[in-house]
Amino acid sequence: MPGFDTLAIHAGQPPDPATGSVVPAIHLATTFAQSAVGEHKGFEYSRTGNPTRAALETCVAALEGAAYGSAFASGLAAEDAVLRTLAAGDHLVVGDNLYGGTHRLLAQVHTQLSVSSAPLSDLAAVEAAWRPTTRLVWVETPSNPHLWIADIAALAGLAHDRGARLVVDNTFATPYLQSPLALGADVVVHSTTKYLGGHSDVVGGFVATNDPDLAARVAALQNSVGAVPGPFDCFLVLRGVKTLAVRMDRHSANARRVADALAGHGAVGSVFYPGLPAHPGHEIAAAQMRGFGGMVSFTLRGGEAAALKVAGSTRLFTLAESLGAVESLIEHPSRMTHASVAGSPLAVDPALLRLSVGLEDADDLLEDLDRALAVVG
């Protein structure tokens, strides 16, 4: 089996047999000629299947160690497809820290499902939340925005013993740093908008699994609902994935420096980064991840007012939602990405800021944060 970096560059994208092109073509065609009714070269209609999308699906599935992969128009569209495989009345246990849009999808769209949240690092709490109708455990690890860590193998064991499946949102870790399927998870979902795309220029999502029945249902939903990414979007994610490994190494190194600097700053309350030995999930992260990633969160001693001031005072860290790209971003989860969880048990501390640490020179990033923190410190 070729190594990760080799798969990232070559899986699903050999040189084009017709032209020799070393990058996959952007196949804009919506439909494909048939030589006789039902006789074609594998593609009929681009919602059902498209060669550029097929290249992306083969590549990201290979990176996740999955036999099957389906690409979607956004991370939430990918999540929606997985949730649609459940029946009305089915129950899910989700983490008590979760992307706000996922909460909104569950609370406002999939109202036929019932949902409990629990701290997924605590297996007793997961057991306490269990019901006879529980069919799925849904975990982000590291979680958005708190960077809590859950033990994927332990959760998979617990879910499987009770006849349920484990879904891991691997957006923050990426397949370079974490392989949920190898740890026992049944499904991986991604917002490819983030590290896989990596350049803040494409929105996309992905579902990967080794379960043939589930894969067939997800592919059928992809075709029936039609939340598919366009060929140019697929090309952009494929292009991003080629450099995923080198980017994640640098994201992780820069984030580590940022986390260390914040941990020693007087204006900062708590720093959340799984690479810090004091992080409650550090040992599990060290065992199940190959690096700690580029996301760092921290609270301000001065509470929400201080957090808002700092968020508005950085220059290199751009104040914006999203994450996982080459440029550094800062955001205030409780008013921005997680506004939809306000008032729910998933509500985020208003003193919390989230950083997506990019690939700029780390010294410049530290200087920028130091200057911004001086406003409140």
Q: Is 171 in the site for ligand P1T (CB under 6 A)?
A: yes
Specify which residues 268 forms β-bridges with.
300
DSSP letter string, 349-368? PTTEEEEE--SS-HHHHHHH
Specify which residues 118 forms β-bridges with.
95
Q: Which is nearer to ligand P1T, 150 or 267 (CB)?
A: 150
Residue 194 among the catalytic residues? yes
CA 18 to chain centre: 35
| Alpha-carbon span 357 to 252, nearest angstrom | 8
SS3 32: coil
State how far the alpha carbon of 168 is from the alpha carbons of 35, 158, 172, 321, in Å. 42, 14, 11, 22
96-125: which residues touch ligand P1T (CB under 6 A)? 99, 101-102
Q: Which of 97, 144, 178, 200 binds ligand P1T (CB under 6 A)?
A: 144
Q: Which of 70, 85, 121, 191 binds ligand P1T (CB under 6 A)?
A: 191
Specify which residues 92 forms β-bridges with.
115, 136
Residue 47 among the catalytic residues? yes
Q: Is 140 in the site for ligand P1T (CB under 6 A)?
A: yes
Specify which residues 353 forms β-bridges with.
298
Q: Which is nearer to ligand P1T, 101 or 275 (CB)?
A: 101
Q: Which of 323, 325, 330, 359 binds ligand P1T (CB under 6 A)?
A: 323
Residue nearest to ligand P1T (CB): 75
Binding marks (x or -) toward ligand P1T, 266..305, rule CB under 6 A? Answer: ----------------------------------------
| Catalytic annotation, pick one of 47, 250, 301, 335 | 47
Residue 242 among the catalytic residues? no
Given a contact cutoff of 8 angstroms between Cβ atoms, the answer to whether 217 and 32 are in contact is no
| Catalytic annotation, pick one of 96, 169, 233, 368 | 169
194-233: which residues touch ligand P1T (CB under 6 A)? 203, 205
53-92: which residues touch ligand P1T (CB under 6 A)? 74-76
Residue 176 among the catalytic residues? no
Residue 186 contacts by C-beta under 8 Å, 6 or more apart in sequence? 156, 159, 165, 166, 167, 209, 210, 211, 214
Q: How far is the CB of 32 from ligand P1T (least distance, A)?
A: 28
SS3 76: helix
Which residues of the chain form beta strands (DSSP E)?
68-72, 91-95, 114-118, 134-140, 165-169, 187-191, 205-209, 268-272, 295-300, 318-319, 329-331, 352-356
Q: How far is the CB of 114 from ligand P1T (least distance, A)?
A: 21
Q: Which is nearer to ligand P1T, 230 or 377 (CB)?
A: 230
Q: How far is the CB of 147 from ligand P1T (least distance, A)?
A: 11
Stretch of 54-62, 86-94, 297-305, 315-323 contacting ligand P1T, by CB under 6 A: 315-323
Residues that bind ligand P1T (CB under 6 A): 74-76, 99, 101-102, 140, 144, 169, 171, 191, 193, 203, 205, 321-323, 337
* Residues forming the active site: 47, 99, 169, 194
